[in-house]
Amino acid sequence: MKKAVTMQDISCVGKCSLTVALPVMSAMGIETAVIPTAVLSTHTMFKGVTFHDLTAEIIPIMEHWKREGFHFDAVYTGYLGSFEQLDCAEILFRDFGQDCVKIVDPCMADNGKLYTGFTMEFAQAMTRLCGKADIICPNMTEASFLLDTPYKEKYNEEYVRDVLKKLTVLGCRKAVLTGVSFEEGQVGAYAYDRENDTYFCYFTEEEKEHFHGTGDIWASTLCGALVNGKSFEEACEIACDYVRECIHVTIQEEGHNLYGVNFEQAIPYLLMRMGQ
Ligand code: PXL
């Protein structure tokens, strides 16, 4: 059985970070270990969020795992809340990142703005972790903060290709931008492979609503598909299709959640798409 470890927070309500990464990757048939970085009552789009930091547990958890000789096929980091947690993620990569795929989803911003609690200094520090990854998967906003360039709502293919090249200069092998859209009604992912100097893109029909947590579902699916032996390109396609399906299933329900998607009832679609 393939194994992965993911390091991110647990937002008790909100359908993001660990509460999607764990079920999605488990459903894909991957034994998924977790490093919970913090416990929040909800994700940070709600007001009055409670927050309990778990940073002090991270190094002892990894020390124990080293004594046990655990090995993983993938290491995937998501939402990290402090400089110290970025350092812990680097240690995770150093100690458990040999012979496995290392994915960094630099969760910190969307729609042109940093999430509550994040700063430009944090974005700057995140570039170092990105440099240690095989694959990074920011959205357009996160890419602009990583590169310290102004966020553009409208852009063309040339601009996206330039951003991708600059992202791989941080040191990762591949960068994939999510939520890329050149024309209304179409959205997808655009990737660059530094080693082969090749681009890849994939688009689907854009659903009518936007939700939180879809980036986490995208990255979890990418990770799961890669661990299960899909090519990078196919893994990107499956991730795009599954996120689209999650949104589609969500908005069909009257009075549906606004804070997260119905990824649960779209799991059969994911497994069909995976050929599982
Ligand atoms: O989906 C990213 C995410 C993860 N974790 C927490 C968040 C967010 C986005 O806002 O607030 C706590």
Q: 259 CB less than 6 Å from ligand 1?
A: no
Strands 198-205 and 186-193, how do they pair?
antiparallel
> Is 17 touching ligand 1 by the criterion CB < 6 Å?
yes
CB distance 216 to ligand 1 below 6 Å: yes
pTM: 0.98
Tokens of 98: 């040999």
Return the pLDDT at 270.
Answer: 98
How remote is the C-alpha of 77 from its chain's centroid? 7
Q: Which residues of the chain have pLDDT under 50?
A: none
Q: Which residue has the tokens 């040999």?
A: 98
* Burial zone of 197 (CB within 10 Å; 0-12 exposed, 13-18 middle, 19+ buried): exposed
What letters, b where the CB count within 10 A reaches 16 and e where it falls short, cover 160-190?
beebbeebbebebbbbbbbbbebeeeebbbb
- Classified by CATH at the fold level, domain 3-274 comes out as UDP-N-acetylmuramoyl-L-alanine:D-glutamate ligase (3.40.1190)
| pLDDT of the residue at 198 | 98
Domain ranges of the chain: 3-274
Q: Look up residue 138 and give its two tokens.
A: 């920011």
Ligand 1 centroid from CA 19, angstroms? 11
CA angle centred on 264, ends 118 and 2, rounded to 5°: 80
